[in-house]
Amino acid sequence: MIGVRGSEMSALFGFAERQLYVYKRYWVWEVVWLFYSIVSVLSIGFLASGLGSLGAGGGSFDLRKAQLYLLIGALLWGYLSLVFMEAAYAIAWERWEGTIEYTFMAPVRRMTHLMGICLFAIVYGLARTFIVLLVAVAIFEIDFSHADIAGALIVLAASMAPLVGLAILTSVLPLLSPQKGEQMSFAVQGFMLLVSGVYYPLTVLPWPLQAAGFVSPLTYALAGMRSSLLQGSTMADQLPTVGILLGMGAVLIPIGFAVFTWAERRAKRLGLLKRSG
> What residues make contact with another protein under the rule CB under 8 A?
2, 6-8, 10-11, 13-14, 17-18, 21-22, 25-26, 97-99, 101-109, 265, 268-271, 273-274
How far is residue 224's CA from residue 76's CA, in Å, rounded to a whole number? 11
The distance from CA 94 to its chain's CA centroid, rounded to whole angstroms, is 20
Shortest separation between residue 253's beta carbon and another protein, angstroms: 20
Closest CA to 153 of 63, 25, 241: 241
Contacts of 70 (CB under 8 A, 6+ apart): 44, 45, 47, 48, 199
Q: Which is nearer to another protein, 102 or 186 (CB)?
A: 102
Shortest separation between residue 116's beta carbon and another protein, angstroms: 9
Contacts of 174 (CB under 8 A, 6+ apart): 91, 92, 95, 181, 182, 185
How far is residue 243's CA from residue 216's CA, in Å, rounded to a whole number? 14
Q: Which is nearer to another protein, 7 or 49 (CB)?
A: 7
How far is residue 79's CA from residue 70's CA, in Å, rounded to a whole number? 14
Shortest separation between residue 129's beta carbon and another protein, angstroms: 25
Q: Which is nearer to another protein, 25 or 146 (CB)?
A: 25
Closest CA to 129 of 87, 76, 85, 167: 76
Shortest separation between residue 124's beta carbon and another protein, angstroms: 17
Contacts of 52 (CB under 8 A, 6+ apart): 63
How far is residue 104's CA from residue 102's CA, in Å, rounded to a whole number? 5
Shortest separation between residue 29's beta carbon and another protein, angstroms: 10
Q: Which is nearer to another protein, 54 or 270 (CB)?
A: 270
Q: Which is nearer to another protein, 146 or 265 (CB)?
A: 265
Q: Which is nearer to another protein, 21 or 207 (CB)?
A: 21
Shortest separation between residue 84's beta carbon and another protein, angstroms: 22
